[in-house]
Structure 1
C-alpha cells in the first residue's frame, strides 16, 4: 500500500501548456528596459548551472545569471546580444520570461580597450587583496571583466 502511494507521488509533473506558441519577454536592468512583454522566438542565457536556450512552452525555471551574453532571437530572426553582469531569469508556465540583470549593455556599446583596462585593474586588485573579503570581491570583478572582454571581442 505504501509503495503504491510512493510511486504515485514520484510521477513527474509537467508544466501546463501555454496558450499558443508565443513567448513574452521582459528584460530589464537598473540602467535600461530592453524588452517589455515583447513576443520573441528564443532566448539564450548564461547561468551558473550552464548556458541554456529557452523556447515557447519551456518548463518553468528560475536560474541565476552569470556574467555573459544573453541572445534574444526575435520572431523575424533578428538577433540581439546583450552583456549581463549578473541577475536572474524566470520562465513561467504561461511561457512568459523575465530577465532581471544587475547591469546590462548591448554588445555594440562595449569598449574593448576599456574592458581590457578594467580586467588589468581587477587582476591587480586580486593580487593585492589583503583579506578573504577583498579577494572574493576581486575574483568577482575579474570574472565579470573577463566576460566583458570576451563579449567586446566577439
Structure 2
C-alpha cells in the first residue's frame, strides 16, 4: 500500500520536485465512439462512429454515450437503439448477448440473435408467444419448463418490439 502511495506521489511530482500535470486538456473535439455490433447472422456495425447506443440489460436498460464508464453487461431480450451521427435511430431486436464498453469509448455488442425491428412480422411474433406459452404448459421436466420460460421471455420481448 505504501508503495502505491509513493508511486502516486512520484507521478504527481517530478524528480525535481515540481508539479507535473497528469492530464492535459485538449481542444474541444467532438467525442467519438467506435461501435461494433455483430451476431452469427451478420455484422451490423464495424467500428462505426455513432452518437448513442441504448441497450436492454439484466441490470437495467441504459444509454451509452462517448466517455461512458467502462462496463460489461449481459443483454436481455429487447431492442437496441443506435442513434447514428445524423440523428437517425436504427432499432434491432436481440435475444441475448453481451455489451462491452471500453475506456477508449469503443463499444462492442455481441448478440446471440439479432434482427432489424422493421423486419419483424407482428403476427409471427404473436404466434411465437402463443407457442411458447404452450411449451410451458406441456413441459414434462424442470429442464423443459426452464427452456420454455426462456422462450416465453424472448417471445414477449419480440411482441413488445413490434408495438
Whether TM exceeds 0.5 here: the answer is: yes
- 2:96 is aligned to 86
Asked which structure has the greater CA Rg, the reply is 2
- 1:59 is aligned to 69
TM-score where L is the length of structure 1: 0.86
In the alignment, the residues of structure 2 paired with residue 32 and residue 113 of structure 1 have an alpha-carbon distance, to the nearest angstrom, of 25
TM-score where L is the length of structure 2: 0.82
In the alignment, the residues of structure 2 paired with residue 29 and residue 152 of structure 1 have an alpha-carbon distance, to the nearest angstrom, of 20
Higher relative contact order (CA 8 A, sep 6+): 1
Say yes or no: does 1:77 pair with 2:87: yes
Correspondence for 1:110 among 120, 137, 147 = 120
Residue 76 of structure 1 aligns to a residue in which SS?
coil
TM-fit CA distance, 1:121: 0.5
In the alignment, the residues of structure 2 paired with residue 76 and residue 114 of structure 1 have an alpha-carbon distance, to the nearest angstrom, of 32
- 2:161 is aligned to 151
Gaps of 5+ in 2: 6-22
TM-fit CA distance, 1:32: 1.4
Say yes or no: does 1:40 pair with 2:50: yes
In the alignment, the residues of structure 2 paired with residue 110 and residue 75 of structure 1 have an alpha-carbon distance, to the nearest angstrom, of 25
Say yes or no: does 1:134 pair with 2:144: yes
Residue 22 of structure 1 aligns to a residue in which SS?
coil
Gaps of 5+ in 1: 6-15
CA-atom RMSD, angstroms? 2.0
Moved over 6 A (4+): none
In the alignment, the residues of structure 1 paired with residue 66 and residue 72 of structure 2 have an alpha-carbon distance, to the nearest angstrom, of 15
Alignment size in residue pairs: 140
- 1:28 is aligned to 38
In the alignment, the residues of structure 1 paired with residue 64 and residue 159 of structure 2 have an alpha-carbon distance, to the nearest angstrom, of 25
In the alignment, the residues of structure 2 paired with residue 83 and residue 26 of structure 1 have an alpha-carbon distance, to the nearest angstrom, of 16
